[in-house]
Every structure is written in C-alpha cells, then in structure tokens.
Structure 1
Amino acid sequence: MNPTRRRRLLWVLGLVAAAAVATALVATALQRNVAYLYTPSEILRGDASERARFRLGGMVAEGSFKRASGSMDAHFSVTDGDALMPVVYTGILPDLFREKQAVVATGRMQGGTFVAEEILAKHDETYMPKEVADKMGQAHKKHDVAAPGGVEPAR
C-alpha cells in the first residue's frame, strides 16, 4: 500500500472512531436525562428503581400539604386513587400548586419518600399532562369511578 492510501485510510478510520465516540457520548447523555413517569401505586409495586431519576404524577392528596413557617421545605402526598406517595420539596412551589390538583414532580426515591427536584402544576382547569391523564383514567376504570368533568389529556 502506498503512503498516500495509507494516510487516507488512517484519516477515515480516525473519523469513524471519532464519530463512534461522539455517538456513544450523546446516547449516554440522553439516557441519563430520560425521566419516566410513574404513579404512586407503580412506585410502591417496585416498577421504579430506587436510584433512578423519574417523574411522579398524580393528584395532591387533600389535607396532606404541610410547610413549617419560615421554611422552604414542603411536605405533601401524591395519590393516584390507589396509593399515597409522600413527597418532600425544597423551594418555591408553582402558583397553581394546591391540594386536589394534578402535579408532576421530578426527583428520586430516598428512604420511602420521593425527594422532588422540580414541581410542575397544571396550568388551567381543563389541562392535565397526557401521561398523567391516561394513568388516572386507568385508576378510575379500576375503581369504577366517573372521571372528573372537564379534564382532558394534553395533545
């Protein structure tokens, strides 16, 4: 093989190797940032990993919200109709956050409690994230309960 062909071959192999490394890095970064949505009953069944970052979806349970005066720590429970999951969040809650409203929290499990890093509340009376609406609909069917009026999944 002459030196020109050898040089071209090495450049091509180097570019292929660099592309493979870049692809692997992008795939790893995307995999780490994926956060699956689970309901409290799915978490208690063990569907979510203890160490994984994921989203918890459901309704804020009535009478569960507590915050000590002068503290940024909020304690509340999220329910899907079957189970309750205690949640701890440190920070400012969204303005629309309240009991008996849909919520999606991103975080991790820690000692049986969901430690939230981010809280999202629904933005108006007729909106609920599609994943949460689907899972809440399954819970309503299971318990033979009529779905609340006006709640429709996001499109």
Structure 2
Amino acid sequence: MRSLKKRRRMQVLLAAAAALLIAAGLIGYGFRDGINLYRSPTQVSAAAPDPDEYFQLGGLVKEGSIVARDGVAFDFVITDGVAEIPVSYVGGDPRPDLFSEGQGTIAKGYFREGRFEARDLLAKHDETYMPREVIDTLKESGVYQDPNS
C-alpha cells in the first residue's frame, strides 16, 4: 500500500515540475521580442548597441530634419539636446498624424552603421502628451520645458 502512495506522490511531483518548466519556457518565448530597452541619443552615441539589438530610441524630432522619401519612408533626426541620431523610417505604415518637428517621439528598430533604422514610430496622441521616457531624457540633458508653464 505504501509503495502505491509513494509512486502517486512521485508522479504528481514530476507532473508539477514538467508543468513548471513548460510554463517558464512559454514565458521566456513570449518575452523574447517583448522586452525592448529604451535609450536616449546620448546613450546611443556613448555606446553603440549591437546591430542586431532591437531597442527604442526616444527624444525630440529635430526642427527641419524631416525629409520625405519614396512611399511611406522618410528620414529625420532624434535629439535629446545633447546628441543627435539620424533616423530612417523603413516601416510599412504612413507617418503618424501627430508626428512633427519639435515633438517627442519613440522609434523602435536597430542602430546600424551610424544610423537608426526605425520599424515602428510612437508619436504623441494629443497636443500636450509626451512619452515619460522622453521627458526623463530631456530633463537629464536640461532641455525639457513643461508645456503647462
């Protein structure tokens, strides 16, 4: 009788361990592209990331830097007031309506050969919004101006 209880207990423990390993594997698989680091232009200039690293670059769109190319592609410069990074948008969607010069944005993509290749753009969703990460970056460089003041 005791050996049957021991066998059942071992089966339950092995099943629980297998379920835990499968759950951990699925969580890791789900996060493989979901965890994107945020960097400012100053951080990218100081230490260029690996060309295959997908990350977020945030700051202000430099005045006079937006240049249209064929289709929905365009170039611009992201700055934090200290450093500037040239960006080429190569995504498939048209430019967001509220994406404009002097406004905060976050671009997602890769930094290759001195240029950021953006696959996605996040722009403000109203006239006063700016992403928290961009505000923090601009405050660190002393460029941030509160729109409410």
Query: Partner residue of 1:148?
Result: 145
Unaligned runs of 5+ in 2: none
Q: CA RMSD in A?
A: 2.2
Query: Partner residue of 2:81?
Result: 81
Query: Partner residue of 1:103?
Result: 105
What is the correspondence of 1:5-154 to structure 2 with a 5 Å cutoff?
A: 5-46=6-47, 48-68=49-69, 70-90=70-90, 91-140=93-142, 147-150=144-147
Q: In the alignment, residue 75 of structure 1 is paired with which amino acid?
A: D
Q: Return the offset for 1:32.
A: 3.3
What SS does structure 1 have at the residue aligned with 2:33? helix
The answer to which structure, 1 or 2, has the higher relative contact order (CA under 8 A, 6+ apart) is: 2
Unaligned runs of 5+ in 1: none
- TM-score scaled to structure 1, two decimals? 0.82
Q: Return the offset for 1:4.
A: 4.3
Distance 1:36 1:27 in 2: 16
Q: Which runs of 4+ in 1 moved over 6 A?
A: none
Identity between Structure 1 and Structure 2 (%): 34
- The total of aligned residue pairs comes to 146
Distance 2:99 2:71 in 1: 17
- TM-score scaled to structure 2, two decimals? 0.85
